[in-house]
Amino acid sequence: MKLTEQQVRHVARLARLALSPEELVTYREQLSAVLDAVDALAQVDTTGVVPTSVVGASTPHLRADVPHGEVGVKVALANAPQVDGTSFAIPRVIE
Amino acid sequence: MPRADFQVVIGLEVHAQLLTSTKLFSGASTSFGGDPNAHTSIVCLGLPGVLPVLNQRAVELALSAGHALECTIAERSEWSRKHYFYPDLPKGYQITQYEFPICLGGRVVFDGPEGEKTVRLTRIHMEEDAGKLVHQGAVSLVDLNRAGTPLLEIVSEPELRSADDAVEYLKALRDVLVWVGVNDGNLEEGSFRCDANVSVMRHGATTFGTRCELKNLNSFRFIKQAIEIEASRQVELLEGGGKVEQETRLFDPQRGETRSMRSKEDAHDYRYFPDPDLPPLLLSKARIEQARQALPELPRARRRRYVEALGLPPYDAGVLTADRAMSELFERCLAEVGEAKPVSNWFMGELSRLLNETKTSVAEVKFTPTQFAAVLRAVKDGVVSGPGAKELFAELFATGKDPHAIIAEKGLAQVNDDGPLLEAIAQAMAEAPKNVESYRNGNTKIVGAFVGAVMKKLGGKGNPRRINELLVEKLKA
Amino acid sequence: MKGLVALTKALADGATSSVETTKALLQKPDLVGAFLLRDDAGALAAAKASDERRARGAALGPLDGVSVALKDNILTEGVVTTAGSKLLAGFVPPYDATVTTRLKAAGAVLLGKTNLDEFGMGSSTENSAFQQTKNPFDLTRTPGGSSGGSAAAVAAGLCAGALGTDTGGSIRQPAAFTGLVGLKPTYGRVSRAGVVAYASSLDQVGPLARSVEDVALLLEAIEGFDAADSTSSDVAKTAWREGLRSGVKGLRVGLPKELFVDGMDPEIDASVRAAARRLEALGAHVVELSLPHTKYALATYYVIAPCEASSNLGRYDGVRYGHRAKDVKALKDLYEKSRSEGLGPEVKRRIMLGTFALSAGYHDAYYVKAQQVRTLIRRDYEAAFASVDVVLSATSPVLPWRLGEKLDDPLAMYLMDVLTLPCNLAGLPGLSMPCGQSKAGLPIGLQLLGRPFDEATLLRAAHALEADLNLSLEPR
């Protein structure tokens, strides 16, 4: 399917990506081309077919409720771009 | 058009924190306190490459809650990702249950003003909590200590019809969750949170009005207020020819109003899909049944049994089942004593008083049910007097010592032998010949003075009933 | 350059030491741009420790003293891991991936981190934010991708073996392009814990090395249940090398007509069919078969992988680690600028594609539909494996292309993955091995697919063919 500019803008916003006007045009074309190819799926009769979402183990292994693995604030914050006390800091969020 | 023409319709979504030691998908502690981010693991931090591993205890607690609320437990439930960006959500998605929750249906029973009511549940699902964002000057601070804490979301059908009923529903739901040990019931600290979906419709209407979701309801009082205020707002809006818009509204207790949270720039599109990191949770029929068997008798059932089978007054039954620990202690003492009413009297009276005065919790109680039964037996057998029994129990409560040892130590035993009693009576009569005379002349009331005198000679330890009997016998002679 | 097994033997015989071989490898210039980081200090310390263990007569691991490289989406505690993304430049993980831990426990010397397409998204390693990796057989051509750095490192003799990850062919296709053996294990056989996620239901870690036996040795070291990965399967570990030499007599080999696609390079077609005839000569029964839903594999993959990627990459928000744009004042900018600056165009494309396919109104037509078709593809293979033991095809329909050649047309690039995708969609084990060379001297690879958890049969068939073909592919 062919995406509209509006759709591309909406998707970029949902994904928290900022696009320049040129990027908007390029991505619109490229994504539309991929979606055209993907639209082949519509030809498949999938009536009553159960979707496969998870492969591998059939049910998760359950963990005992015993504390382990806390890394401590030093490690937790080690890669942070901005820190205040033992918190991650970001520009003030206006609600 | 008057307000009375409208009916309020309420559905509640409760988020109850599960009482686990660790988070839903990570081994980090769920304990309160500590520096921001002290209780984080690589999983809570959403680092690259981390994977969720499900907490067994959280599943067990969800099963208990589901059974206690008479839900159908799913043999297969599924984990989904709910996507949105917010700084307190480390992965950019919350792991929750969407299409296939662990519990379906169920109900909450509570006592409304017009008697017992039942509200059906839509579902209960498990999910992880987000972290916390604190605003401070030019920055906002992200603390992930709470991120990943296991929650149960309990969703009711829109069957509540008043703010009072909503509060009673929540109290009853909280009682059950606390009773089965799933949740601590604390609204202020946010471990039992509630959102309310409120709409209004005209009486006799067959379709619901447009609903608004109310947030920030962290006390029963606020819940009642918020619902009433919101319902009035909607009625006024409709009466003025307006339309209710479906939205999320924040309750502001200071201003006594609800207000729109539309400031969030765009409509959410959560893009749910099954989490490929977590296979579906499969529970065998046997496992589900086992959890049902392990469930304790629930407060409402127990209350009914106390009234119907034990013959206790409804008030007593209510007090004795208000708290699980108290009720369990009552059960164990009852098993030792065998007769409900005296046990109930002691629990409602002396025990409650002592717990209150000493600010002791039931869990800290020092005496054993056997010791408790020994106190009651000492009273029944006349070994101790009424006041002596209170002293005995107080000492037992304080120390947990053997009641017989306390009786001996404190000299609480009553004198029941006729020999010393008769001796004291003889002395008392000899010391007050005028009173003897007076009695024999018909002033039988004066026997009280003699009892007092005799008791004094015995240091207060004579069996008053026997003293009375013997006195009457002697005075008449 | 010796292979892993040969090196293990040389170390055991005292013909060389770990420090000696490690030093030699670290000093060798990286002319193909395979490594993003060579951990000289760490590798030498590990080599020294290994030599000391050996001298002491202490217990040795199966890979003791042997040098291995890791694709840079596999986390290494204290050693920068970037996943080929500017967004993670300088990111120092506080923990090891399970496979890293297991390699260390086996005594391996970890030489460094190899280049890749950003987050594993690509088929040429050209989507790396940092550098271009070249094919050792022709420096103007791609080594394939996304594990192109690992493949180039092994093929160029910069390490004895390497780990890659494979989401849609990212181990097998680079192995084919560089004359190596590469194995994508059954989904769930190797832990994904500590591996930067691209598409969680498709990703799997696996070895690239110079021989089937080397690959088996690496697989033994990394496989097995891991409590940190809920999709990890609790299957017994296997002594893979023991069964390698049992031959292929009676083995049923299927050639699916749908995997011999139109537009396939004739040299590849011929080489793969010739290899099939060799298997027949060795006693295998070769039959044609049909996998009818194969033609939808590409569409299925390019819905599912982007959907999962769009979700997995939501965590890169500039809040707790990774790139944060400068001077951002509002939350919206913090997110949008940090992500837009940190992520490359192919990653953005896939994030947007996945976000769209999951969005309200399109979720059922794309995401759910693709998961249903995935079921049908899986069933095709289940049915096929009722009558054959392995499925044989080419690994790539084309030879390694020139660097830069396909960069402007994402869809054309996606089409190159057509033969390797079904294996991931069905969760099967898949192996690529060299089966010949083009006239221009470029390696040609064939792919063997097996039943879930039946890597043994794949390795056995590959070993027999390897011995029979007796190729010696060396970069010029």
Question: With an 8 Å Cβ cutoff, are C340 and A54 in contact?
Answer: no
CA dihedral of B149, B99, C375, C230, whole degrees rounded to 10: 10
For residue B79, CA distances in Å to B31, C378, C409 come to 25, 22, 36
Three-class secondary structure of residue B355 per DSSP: helix
Active-site residue, from C18, C85, C146, C211: C146
Query: Please, are residues C314 and B91 in contact by the beta-carbon 8 Å criterion?
Result: yes
Give me the sheet containing C204-209, strands edge to edge. Answer: C35-38, C109-114, C67-71, C161-166, C204-209, C181-184, C430-437, C443-450, C390-394, C252-256, C285-289
3-state secondary structure of C200: coil
What does the alpha-carbon distance between residue C231 and residue B283 come to, in Å, rounded to a whole number?
17
Give contacts of B263 with chain A, Cβ < 8 Å. 95
Take residue B217 and report the two structure tokens written for it.
């309801």
For residue B199, give every residue at least 6 positions away whose Cβ sits within 8 Å of its Cβ, in sequence order, or none. Answer: B8, B9, B158, B208, B209, B210, B211, B212, B234, B244
User: Which domains are seen in chain B, by residue range?
Assistant: 3-287 (no CATH), 296-410 (no CATH), 418-476 (1.10.10.410)
Between chains, do C321 and A56 touch, taking CB under 8 Å as contact?
no
A43-to-A74, C356, C371, C373 alpha-carbon distances in Å: 54, 20, 14, 10
Region B93-109: mean pLDDT is: 98
**Per-residue pLDDT band at B441 (split at 50, 70, 90):** confident
- B49/C193 Cβ within 8 A: yes
User: Any idea what the Cα angle at residue A93 is, between residues A92 and A95, rounded to 5°?
Assistant: 140
* Contact indicator for B105, B89 with CB cutoff of 8 Å: no
| Calpha distance B16→B102 (Å, rounded) | 15
Least confident of B198-212, B256-270, B428-442, C338-352: B256-270
Predicted confidence at residue C1, as pLDDT, reads 59
Best mutation target among B47, B82, B266 (most C Cβ atoms within 10 Å) is B47
Question: Distance, in angstroms, between C78 CA and closest chain A CA?
Answer: 11
Q: Are B463 and B416 in contact (CB under 8 A)?
A: yes
Give the pLDDT confidence of A8-53 residue by residue, as tens digits. Answer: 999 999 999 999 999 999 999 999 999 999 999 999 999 999 999 8
CB atoms A53 and C376 under 8 Å:
no
Q: Is the pLDDT of residue C71 over 50?
A: yes
DSSP string, C271-331: HHHHHHHHHHHTT-EEEEE--GGGGGHHHHHHHHHHHHHHHHGGG-SSSSSS---TT--SH
Question: b/e for C26-51, b at 16 or more Cβ within 10 A?
Answer: beeebebbbbbbbbeebbbebbbbbb
What is the pLDDT confidence band of residue B265, given thresholds at 50, 70 and 90?
very low
Residue B72 clears pLDDT 80, i.e. is over it:
yes
Complex ipTM, two decimals? 0.97
Asked if B108 and B176 touch (Cβ cutoff 8 Å), the reply is yes
Please indicate, yes or no, whether the overall pTM of this predicted structure exceeds 0.90.
Answer: yes
Estimate to the nearest angstrom the gap between the alpha carbon of C19 and the chain centroid: 28
Taking residue A21's Cβ as centre, other Cβ atoms within 10 Å add up to 7
Residue B37, chain C, CB below 8 Å: the answer is no
**Residue C169, class by beta-carbon neighbours within 10 Å (0-12 exposed, 13-18 middle, 19+ buried)?**
buried
Q: Residue B15: what residue type?
A: H
State the best of C71, C304, C335, C358 to mutate against chain B, taking most chain B CBs within 10 Å: C358
Smallest Cβ–Cβ distance between A89 and the set B27, B141, B273 belongs to B141
**pLDDT tens for residues B50-65?**
999 999 999 999 999 9
Q: Chain A contact for C201, CB < 8 A? A: yes
C76 CA to centre of own chain: 18
Chain C, window 318-337: residues with a beta carbon less than 8 angstroms from a chain B beta carbon: 319-321, 331-332, 335
Interface contact C315-B48, CB threshold 8 A: yes
Dmax of chain C from CA atoms? 70
Residue C69: strand pairing partners: C112, C162
Residue of A63, A73, A82 with shortest CB distance to B35: A73
Chain A hits for C376, CB-CB cut-off 8 Å, are 44, 46, 49
CA distance B102 to B59: 9
Confidence at B262, pLDDT banded by 50, 70, 90: low
Interchain contact, A76 vs B59, CB within 8 Å: no
B50 touches chain C (CB under 8 A): yes
Which of C165, C200, C234, C374 is the best mutation test for B, with the most CBs of B within 10 A?
Answer: C200
% of chain B at pLDDT higher than 90:
74
Q: Is the model's pLDDT at B264 over the cut of 60?
A: no
pLDDT digits (tens, 9 = 90+) for C356-404: 999 999 999 999 999 999 999 999 999 999 999 999 999 999 999 999 9
List the single residue in C331, C353, C373 with the smallest CB-CB distance to A46: C373
Q: Give the residue from B95, B99, B144, B273 with the most C CB atoms within 10 Å of its CB, the best one to mutate.
A: B273
Q: Is C278 on the interface with A (CB under 8 A)?
A: no
The answer to whether position C296 is within a domain reads no
Mean pLDDT for the stretch of residues C436-463: 97
Q: Does the pLDDT value for residue B358 go beyond 90?
A: yes
Question: Which tokens is B120 given?
Answer: 């059906």
Nearest residue to B63 via CA among B121, B13, B10, B124: B124
Contacts of C300 in chain A (CB under 8 A): 41
- Per-residue pLDDT at B263 exceeds 60: no
The verdict on a CB contact (< 8 Å) between A27 and C349 is: yes
pLDDT value for B32: 84
How far, in Å, CA of C108 to CA of C110, rounded? Answer: 6
Whether omega for the bond prior to residue C146 falls within 30 degrees of 0, making it cis, is yes
Q: What is the pLDDT of residue C219?
A: 96
- CA dist., res. B456 & res. C272, Å (int): 116
Contact A61 C234 (CB under 8 A): yes
Query: Binning pLDDT at 50, 70 and 90, where does residue B266 land?
Result: low
Q: What CATH code is carried by the domain that includes residue C46?
A: 3.90.1300.10
Digit-coded pLDDT (tens) for C9-37 = 999 999 999 999 999 999 999 999 999 99
Lowest mean pLDDT among B32-46, B65-79, B444-458: B444-458
Give yes or no for residue C62 having a pLDDT over 80. Answer: yes
- Annotated catalytic residue C340: no
C205 within domain boundaries: yes
B412 confidence band (pLDDT: 50, 70, 90) = confident
In angstroms, the CA B421 to CA B417 distance is 7
Confidence bin at C240 (pLDDT 50/70/90): confident
Q: Do C299 and A81 touch (CB under 8 A)?
A: no
Q: Closest to C230 (Cβ–Cβ): which among B83, B93, B279?
A: B279
Cβ contacts of residue C324 below 8 Å, gap of 6+? A81, A82, C318, C334, C338
Mean local confidence (pLDDT), B138-143 = 96
Chains within contact range of chain C (3+ C-beta pairs < 8 Å): A, B
| Residue of B23, B141, B287, B288 for testing the chain A interface, max A β-carbons within 10 Å | B141
The per-residue pLDDT for B2 is 47
**B7 band by pLDDT with thresholds 50, 70 and 90:** very high
d(CA B326, nearest CA chain C) in Å: 41
Residues whose CB is less than 8 angstroms from the CB of residue C459 and which lie 6 or more positions away in sequence, other chains included: C183, C212, C215, C216, C240, C243, C244, C431
SS (H, E, C) B188-252: CCCCEEEEEEEEEEECCCCCCCCCEEEEEECCHHHHHHHHHHHHHHHHHHHHCCCCCCCEEEEEE
Q: Find the mean pLDDT for residues B201-230.
A: 92
Q: Do B139 and A84 touch (CB under 8 A)?
A: yes
Residue C245 lies in a domain: yes
Residue C318 near chain A (CB below 8 Å):
yes
* CA–centroid distance for B313 within its chain: 20
The CATH superfamily label for domain A5-43 reads Glu-tRNAGln amidotransferase C subunit, N-terminal domain (1.10.20.60)
State the alpha helices, DSSP H only, in C106-235.
148-155, 172-177, 212-222
**Are the beta carbons of B133 and A94 closer than 8 angstroms?**
no
Tell me, what's the pLDDT at C167? 98
The pLDDT, as a whole number, for residue B427 is 87
**Interface contact B139-A56, CB threshold 8 A:** no
Residues of A in contact with C329 (CB under 8 A): 91
Contact list, B45 vs chain C (CB under 8 Å): 320
Residue C393 designated active-site: no
Q: Which residues contact C123 (CB under 8 A, 6 or more apart)?
A: C117, C144, C145, C146, C169, C170, C173, C413, C414, C416, C417
Q: What is the pLDDT of residue C442?
A: 98
Please name the helix (run of DSSP H) or strand (run of DSSP E) that holds residue B300, with its range, or none.
helix B299-308
Mean pLDDT rounded to a whole number for chain B: 92
Band of pLDDT at residue B415, cut at 50, 70 and 90:
confident
Average pLDDT for chain C: 96
For residue B139, the chain C residue with the least C-alpha distance is: C329
Angle at B81 between CA A30 and CA C366, to 5 degrees: 35
Residue C230 contacts B where some CB pair is shorter than 8 Å: yes
Segments forming the whole domain that contains residue C183: 4-250
Distance from CA of A91 to the nearest CA of B (A): 5
Going by pLDDT thresholds of 50, 70 and 90, the confidence category of residue C196 is very high
Check CB contact under 8 Å for C311 and B273. yes
Alpha-carbon gap, residue B99 to B88, rounded angstroms: 24
Lowest-pLDDT choice from B409-423, C149-163, C199-213, C408-422: B409-423
Neighboring chains of A (3 or more beta-carbon pairs < 8 A): B, C
Q: Is the pLDDT of residue B200 over 90?
A: yes
SS3 B345: helix
On whether the CB atoms of residues C181 and C433 are closer than 8 A, the answer is yes
**Separation of alpha carbons A5 and A32, rounded Å:** 11
Which whole number is the average pLDDT over C261-265?
87
CA B214, CA C431: separation in Å to the nearest integer?
A: 56
Q: How many domains does chain C have?
A: 1
Query: What does the pLDDT look like over C105-162, one tens digit per residue?
Result: 999 999 999 999 999 999 999 999 999 999 999 999 999 999 999 999 999 999 999 9
Summarize chain B as % helix, strand, coil (round to 5). 40, 20, 35
Question: Which residues of A make CB contacts under 8 Å with B?
Answer: 13-14, 16, 53-54, 56-73, 76-77, 82, 84-93, 95
Kindly list the residues from chain C whose CB atom is less than 8 angstroms away from the CB atom of residue A60.
230
Q: Is C71 a catalytic residue?
A: yes
Q: Does B91 contact C at CB distance below 8 Å?
A: yes
Q: What is the DSSP letter of C364?
A: I
Task: Indicate whether C373 belongs to any domain.
Answer: no
> How many residue contacts between A and B have a Cβ separation below 8 Å?
126
Q: For C433, which DSSP code?
A: E
Region B37-56 average pLDDT? 98
